[in-house]
Structure 1
């Protein structure tokens, strides 16, 4: 019992330390694309920490912008289908002082949305430890948005931050995954000098402010009728038929109906990080 008290007092002391440094942490984000699927996709993501603020984002939009700019400069036609897809689909800004998170989403085709949130992580710290990138890390567990998580944090970097929305441990989170391992973040590099600015991707777009419950309802409605707006436009303009490349008449009602049905089935299987 005495050892346990000393163990937790150690972390309590560490958590009171304020480190006014800038860090960029690179994580590999791996996820199972569909529920109960063995297929995994991975992507590089970054946590940009500056004093009491941080931003978490994927490298995919930057790679896509770079490819587009290069192709346009060379006068080449941009192959949008070949551009890297963003499996994260958001930018996350944290105010570590106020514990407020702003979630910027670009997952919808027509509009971008943002909402603020003050999540409460009920962390339980365990004595179990291992090493990641040469740092000694300790196990902590929590539950968030329908998933049970295991996280490994290091008091050697006393920044109460981590990938995605996670924060609040007495040290930087270097690894976190849900118990099904559907979503897994693992730190692969830490830099104290290199800074990455993500102001442009956020300021270039006009995000519509909403609440998280409304955003989740929009996501649910979109999954139930992903082509709703297109179908409405078809009826508004009464464009029910068109010719294909061979000059054959195509029934747009049938095509859109079948396409939407397939999309709905795919959305049902989609493995979102928040349930």
Structure 2
């Protein structure tokens, strides 16, 4: 009985300590399913806190922190046409803009993403049902066990470790009896892998867990509709910005580009980019 009580106390102590830990995941995605060399690699953070967890890009956080600091210090520079702006020179290159919040103990999910020019806070109530298998594998320094699930239009294989008793993981993954160390899709074009664990330094903590930035709340169905509208007309936001007279485009010499030409060129680039970004993390969004 004493031994069981001791083990229980160890588990509780680990869980308490884990509330202030940061798990660093390497996220890889081949954005073009026809070209496996089109890989984006970005380090993502999973911050585990008393009320829940937050998953976000390390470089995007650092970039935004630097830009915010320059704004507060009024560190402006002139662009090619003489307008004052905040320079992004010297900031980390981050491209993964989405964030995922999970609350404990119910694991309610809020997904924050930008459909230009607005941020949306999407509640996601979809369940994640796992099949735990007997396969074992050592990944990094963690002894892991295999599990499989089908979620958001993809079959996923995950490896979790019971040595870190947290039912959490990267992105929206959760619900296994241990932290998810690695997750990979069926055709191996998308993966998440745990690379390190850190104690969270207070001054390096993204403090928007409560406010979850100024994002418009939407349901999953509403978000799908917004996303499909974006695919049909990827420059709707840019067109509106022109109408509202809050946006103008200039060439490399600082000359104003006529609105019609600017929109035409921008749309051509946007649609070409969409063709290349055809390996959606959640294919269900396209149905």
User: TM-score w.r.t. structure 2 length?
Assistant: 0.76
The runs of 5 or more residues in structure 1 that have no matched partner are: 1-13
1:124 to 131, 134, 141: 131
* Aligned CA-pair RMSD: 3.3
Q: Secondary structure at the match of 1:188?
A: strand
Q: Does 2:157 align with 1:161?
A: no
User: Map of 1:138-149 to 2, 5 A cutoff?
Assistant: 138-149=145-156
User: How many residues are aligned here?
Assistant: 257
**Hey, what's the Cα distance between the residues in 1 that align with 2:250 and 2:102?**
50
Change (3 A) 1:80 1:246: closer
**What does residue 34 of structure 2 align with?**
36
Deviation per residue, 1:66-94 (Å, 9 max, x gap): 44367676957454376444433212111
Q: Following TM superposition, where does structure 1 have runs of at least 4 consecutive aligned residues deviating by more than 6 angstroms?
A: 241-249
**Hey, what's the Cα distance between the residues in 2 that align with 1:56 and 1:232?**
31
The runs of 5 or more residues in structure 2 that have no matched partner are: 1-7, 78-85
* Alpha-carbon contact 1:133-1:189 (below 8 Å) kept: no
**Hey, what's the Cα distance between the residues in 1 that align with 2:253 and 2:51?**
60
User: C-alpha displacement at 1:255, in angstroms?
Assistant: 3.7
**Hey, what's the Cα distance between the residues in 1 that align with 2:190 and 2:101?**
20
Change (3 A) 1:96 1:180: farther
Change (3 A) 1:230 1:164: closer
2:109 to 90, 101, 109: 101
User: TM-score w.r.t. structure 1 length?
Assistant: 0.79
* Alpha-carbon contact 1:99-1:118 (below 8 Å) kept: no
Deviation per residue, 1:35-72 (Å, 9 max, x gap): 32222121111111124611111112222134436767
